[in-house]
Amino acid sequence: MTASRIVLIRYDEIGLKGKNRQFFESALLKNIKEQLKGMEGLRYSTPRGRIFIVLESDQIDTCLRNLARVPGIASMSSGVEVEPDADIIAQMGIDWIAPLLEQKSDLPFCVKTQRSNKKFPISSPDFNYEVGSRIMKQLHDKGLRVDLTHPEFELEVEIGHERTVAFYNRVPGLGGLPVGSSGQVLTLLSGGIDSPVAAFNIIKRGCRSHFIFFDNQAFLGRGGYDKVLRLAKKLNRFQGQGILYVVPFGDLQVSIRDHCNPSNRVVLYRRMMYRIAQELAQRKGYLGLVTGESIGQVASQTLENLAAVSGLCTTSVFRPLIGTDKVDIVQQAKRIETYEISIEPQPDCCSVFMPPRPVTRSKIPDLERDETRYPWKPLMEKALGDIERIELGKVV
Ligand code: ATP
Ligand code: MG
């Protein structure tokens, strides 16, 4: 019996992409190879609608763990390459199921065959029966029973042109689309909980996200910088090749403090963040700005205050979390492992020189009047000229 170990990868949504399918498939394959670069001796093949990786059994756990970070994968399974022979596959099923029946007295199961090789002489339902009945013969008195609608154990067989694979464990992937298939964006990344989750959501839709952080080290020290760098590296594991841009923001904030209406400060800071981010995005050819804003979450995120920043932009502004509740954002942050970093205490630059009563419903003419009172254009040019650029490197 041949028994090469195989990891089988499915990508439902890409399968729906019609003529562009090949483009999406090759982007996904490239990203998978990049994610698994450190692993030796892997062999890839791409039968229709699937990606197969042939590997050693002790590589499977690492492989599945790394693949769980690749957008575009719907689900994965580890399995075994076998002859398309009912006796051999049934024996394999018995070896997998028998240990489970030592712990439980009732196990509903079924066999599910998919046959892309239509020349194979037995139909899928017949093959299910051939394999299933052999397994039942051995194990029915130990508590195994057939249940086609709610099986707890599903023995799956895929009979392809080049190989047949048997497996029983589907692991969900991230879903979404392969990075590189939807262009590049720039996420305004603070050290908070929300913006890393926003970035992740947009990465999952196939965009490569770069990051921009507005830093005020003079007043807040280096803690924010270190934190955002670690967050950006965490996020970069889902995509690779991201860049973090750090903008010195202290001079602008001091000037706003010294010349403008105190209650408008936070919105004025935000307007400068958007202006600078947009300018950088346009220079670099990034096709959208991404933020972690969510309606009403904090005073600066009322509809009026969101309008006061959106109105400045001709570049698209994406707010993937706009309708998401904080509890759900927190849950997602935990899943992508940014939460623990985000909650480390470190003030964001928006909290510097915080007035007693920040405006919740800013009026654009008032903001524009404030902006005639300080030299934002040269300060913006200076900040753009002083940007630090950090390459985040490969996915790992
Ligand atoms: P987060 O948890 O993402 O910090 P928040 O709930 O603290 O969000 P705000 O402080 O109002 O909300 O920030 C709203 C959005 O503005 C952030 O999600 C982020 O996209 C952007 N932002 C805020 N501060 C900065 C900063 N210092 N550098 C870059 N982007 C920032
Ligand atoms: Mg914040």
Residue 15 has a pLDDT of 59
pLDDT at 19: 72
Residues 6+ apart with CB under 8 A from 95: none
**Do both 237 and 324 map to the same domain?**
yes
* Residue at which a domain ends, from 118, 142, 172: 172
pLDDT given for residue 2 in this prediction: 45
Task: DSSP for 219-246, please give it.
Answer: HH-SHHHHHHHHHHHHHHTTTS--EEEE
Asked whether 57 and 5 are in contact (CB, 8 A), the reply is yes
148 alpha carbon, distance to own chain's centre = 34
Is 177 a member of any domain?
no
Q: Whose CA is nearest to atom 24 of ligand 1?
A: 190
Ligand 1 within 6 A of 294 CB? no
Find residue 45's DSSP bridge partners: 52
DSSP code, position 50: E
Asked if 378 contacts 251 with a C-beta cutoff of 8 angstroms, the reply is: no
How many angstroms is it from 100 CA to the middle of ligand 2?
A: 49
345 CA → ligand 2 middle, Å: 12
Q: Which of 348, 354, 362, 388 gets mutated to test ligand 1 (max ligand atoms within 8 A of its CB)?
A: 348
Q: Is 396 contained in some domain?
A: no
> Do 235 and 138 share a structural domain?
no
The pLDDT value recorded for residue 169 is: 84
3-state secondary structure of 376: helix
What CATH number is associated with residue 164? 3.30.2130.30
Same domain, 168 and 219: no
Give the span between the Cα atoms of 140 and 134, in whole angstroms: 10
Pick from 172, 205, 222: which residue ends a domain? Answer: 172
pLDDT at 396 (0 to 100): 64
- Residue whose Cα lies nearest atom 11 of ligand 1: it is 300
Q: Domain limits at 74?
A: 5-172
Name the phi and psi angles at 172, rounded to 5.
-70, 145
Q: Is 350 in the pocket of ligand 1 (CB under 6 A)?
A: yes
pLDDT for the residue 20: 80
What's the rounded Cα separation, in Å, for the pair 209 and 228? 14
Q: Each residue of 186-202: pLDDT tens digit?
A: 999 999 999 999 999 99
15 shares its domain with 138: yes
Q: Is 178 contained in some domain?
A: no
Among 127, 144, 172, which residue terminates a domain?
A: 172
The residue whose C-alpha atom lies closest to atom 14 belonging to ligand 1 is 293
pTM of the model: 0.91
CATH number at residue 209: 3.40.50.620
DSSP states of 268-284 as a string? HHHHHHHHHHHHHHHHH
Same domain, 11 and 54: yes
CA 339 to chain centre: 15
Residue at 179 is within a domain? no
Q: Are residues 204 and 345 in the same domain?
A: yes
Distances (CA, A) of 321 to 162, 193, 366: 44, 11, 28
Q: Do 146 and 209 sit in the same domain of this protein? A: no
Determine if ligand 1 sits within 6 Å of the CB of residue 305: no
* Total domains, the chain: 2
- Collect the ranges in the chain with pLDDT lower than 50: 1-2
Please state the separation of Cα 180 from the chain's center in Å: 13
* pLDDT in the model for residue 16: 64
Q: Give yes or no for residue 293 CB within 6 A of ligand 1.
A: yes
